[in-house]
Amino acid sequence: MPHTDMNTNLTPSTSTSAAPDRLTRGEVARTLLWSVVVISAVANMAASYSGADTWVHLVCGMVTVLCGGTLAVRALRGRR
């Protein structure tokens, strides 16, 4: 009696997998968060070299910490 594979009878219309070329909301959020982290870190560095006021450094630092913390929480929650 020959062995038949049950998965070979599936057609593409009956498969339940999502399209691999679509971006998820999580991927978009992660990309935006990383972009904001880089931009705020560069802005903080530029403020340091230009001698800007202290509040500029604080705002850039707070944005960087908040986005970095959000990325860390999302990464830790994703491990579960």
pLDDT given for residue 6 in this prediction: 58
Of 74, 10, 78, residue with least CA distance to 37:
74
Q: In sequence order, what are the residues at sequence separation of 6 or more whose Cβ sits closer than 8 angstroms to the Cβ of residue 31?
A: none
Select the more confidently predicted residue: 17 or 45. 45
Q: SS3 of 75, please?
A: helix
Provide the whole-model pTM.
0.66
pLDDT at res. 18:
56
Q: What whole-number distance in Å separates Cα of residue 29 and Cα of residue 9? A: 38
Place of tokens 């913390």: 69
CB atoms within 10 A of CB 64: 19
